Amino acid sequence: MLERIGVYTASELSPEEAREVERMILEDPDASRLAESYLRMLALLGAIGEETPEVPQAVIDYAIRKAVISAFFRQAEVFFAGIGRAYVDAFVHYLGLKDPGPTAQGI
């Protein structure tokens, strides 16, 4: 019964089958309530399908702010890591802890 009424409310039955379901809806109060529920559900789904959701400006602003902050911190991380590496290399060179390699010795 549930499936037949659902197919009926979606207008997917042949004329003969539709008449049978209509008869069942007229005779059975439960079938009638079920058909009404299906029709309301189809109307709601149709209304929802026609809407295009609007994203609030606050959400857009928040996402942009997060992206900018994330990009800033990533760039700062790269910058400070480069500076740190340069200072460590200079300090190691100054202390003479690293062999400069064959190219620096002129070999």
Q: Please state, rounded to an integer, the average pLDDT across all residues of the chain.
A: 83
Q: What is the SS3 string spanning the chain?
A: CHHHHHHHHCCCCCHHHHHHHHHHHHHCHHHHHHHHHHHHHHHHHHHHHHCCCCCCHHHHHHHHHHHHHHHHHHHHHHHHHHHHHHHHHHHHHHHCCCCCCCCCCCC
Question: What was the pLDDT predicted at 103?
Answer: 53
Calculate mean pLDDT across residues 75-98: 89
pLDDT at 65 over 80: yes
